[in-house]
A and B are shown apart, each in its own frame.
Chain A
Amino acid sequence: MNRKSKRFSPSRLTRWLVPVFLVGLTLVLAGTLLLLFLAIIGGLP
C-alpha cells in the first residue's frame, strides 16, 4: 500500500460532518469530565 492509496478525498458532506462529530464528542467529553470533577468538589457521600 503506497502513500497515495491510503489517502482519501473527503466529500462535501464528510468535510463538515466530521468536524461536527468531533466538536460534539469533545463537548460531551468536557461535560462528562466536569460532572466527575463536580462529584469530587461536591463532597459526595
Chain B
Amino acid sequence: MHYLSLLSTVITLAFTLAVLSRYSQRGGTHLLLWGIGLALYGLGTLSEVILGSSFNDWVMKLWYLSGAMLTAAWLGQGTVNLLVRRKNLVLTANVVLLTVSLLSLVLIVIQPVDLKAASLYDPTIPASAHNPLMDIPEGIREGRLPAQYQVILGTGGLILVLTILLNIYGTLMLVGGAIYSAYLFFRKNVFLNRMVGNILIAAGGLFPAMGGTFVRAGMVDWLYVSEFVGVILMFLGFLQATASEPVRERQTASTD
C-alpha cells in the first residue's frame, strides 16, 4: 500500500512548492507556515515509503514527529496567521507552537527504541499495524493490539498527550478556519472560487485528521488513503482559491 504514500509525497512536494512560490512572490507568514506544514506532511509520507521497504529507527522517529505530531498544528497555525487580526495574540501562538514543536523534537529524539521489537519490524505491513511477532508491552490497555511503532517507540505519556493536543488544535484551526472563510464568502456572495476552495480545503484537512481514528479502529490501510485524498483535496482547494486574481484586495478571510 505504500505506493499511495509515494504518490502522496509527490503531490505534497508540488503543493509545498506552489505555496512557497506564492510566499516568495507575495510574502505573508501564513503562506510560510502552510509551506512548513506541508513540508512536514511530505516528510511523514516519505518516511512511510522508506518504512515500507526497511526499518530505520530515525526514519520511524521522523515519521511520528512530522506526520503524527506536527503537520496539523503547523497547517492550522498558518490559518491562524491569516484570519486572526490581533498581532500580539498571533505572535504568542507562533512562539508557543515553535516551543512545543522543539519540545516534541527533543522528546522524540531521546525516546528509547525497543531493539528487540525493532528487529522484528515487518515492512510489508504498515508501521501503524499490529505485528503479532512483537510482545505486547506493559501499559497497553487490555484488548488493544498495539501498532508496530507503539511497541518500538513506546510513544505514551507526554508524547501522546502532545500528539493529541497538537492535532486537536491544528485540525480545529485549519478545518474550522476554512469552514468559517467559506461561510463568509457564501454569506456575502463574493469570491465564488475562494468559497469553493475553502470547502475543498476543509474537506481535505479532515481526511488526515480522521486517519488516526481509522488506525485506532484497525483500518490501518485507510491512513494512507486518507493522506492521499486529503492532500489532493487541499491542493485543489488551494489552486481554486488562488485562481486568477487581477487585483489584490484586502479581504476578511481567504487563502490569499
Measuring CB to CB, which residues of chain A are less than 8 angstroms from any residue of chain B? 1, 6-10, 18-19, 21-22, 25-26, 28-29, 32-33, 35-37, 39-40, 43-45
In the assembled complex, the Cα of A9 lies from the Cα of B195 at a distance in Å of: 13
Q: Is the CB of B199 within 8 A of A45?
A: no
In the assembled complex, the Cα of A37 lies from the Cα of B209 at a distance in Å of: 13
B103 close to chain A: CB less than 8 A = no
Given the interface pairs A22-B179, A45-B150, the reply to whether A29 lies near B189 with Cβ below 8 Å is: no
Tell me, rounded to whole Å, the shortest Cβ–Cβ distance linking A8 to chain B: 4
Mind listing 19 A-B residue pairs with CB under 8 Å?
A7-B189, A7-B190, A8-B191, A10-B186, A21-B199, A22-B179, A22-B199, A25-B179, A25-B203, A28-B210, A29-B176, A29-B202, A29-B206, A32-B206, A36-B168, A37-B168, A39-B216, A40-B161, A45-B150
B220 close to chain A: CB less than 8 A = no
Main secondary structure of the interface of B (DSSP, over half): helix
- Can you list, as one digit per residue, whether each of B236-247 has a CB less than 8 Å from chain A (1) or not (0)? 000000000111
In the complex, identify which listed stretch (B11-19, B52-60, B138-146) lies at the interface while the others stay far away. Answer: B138-146
- Can you list, as one digit per residue, whether each of B143-187 has a CB less than 8 Å from chain A (1) or not (0)? 010100010000010001100110110011001100100110010
Q: Is the CB of B139 within 8 A of A45?
A: yes
Given the interface pairs A18-B199, A28-B206, A35-B213, the reply to whether A10 lies near B189 with Cβ below 8 Å is: yes
In the assembled complex, the Cα of A1 lies from the Cα of B210 at a distance in Å of: 39
In the assembled complex, the Cα of A39 lies from the Cα of B161 at a distance in Å of: 9
Q: Is the CB of B171 within 8 A of A32?
A: yes
Q: Is the CB of B189 within 8 A of A22?
A: no
Q: How many A-B residue pairs have CB under 8 A?
A: 76
Q: Is the CB of B171 within 8 A of A36?
A: yes
In the assembled complex, the Cα of A31 lies from the Cα of B171 at a distance in Å of: 12
Given the interface pairs A1-B246, A39-B164, the reply to whether A32 lies near B190 with Cβ below 8 Å is: no
In the assembled complex, the Cα of A7 lies from the Cα of B213 at a distance in Å of: 39
Contacts of B144 in A (CB 8 A): 45
Q: Which residue in chain A gives the minimum CB-CB distance to B212? A: A36
Tell me, rounded to whole Å, the shortest Cβ–Cβ distance linking A17 to chain B: 10
In the assembled complex, the Cα of A9 lies from the Cα of B144 at a distance in Å of: 53
Q: Is the CB of A45 within 8 A of B146?
A: yes
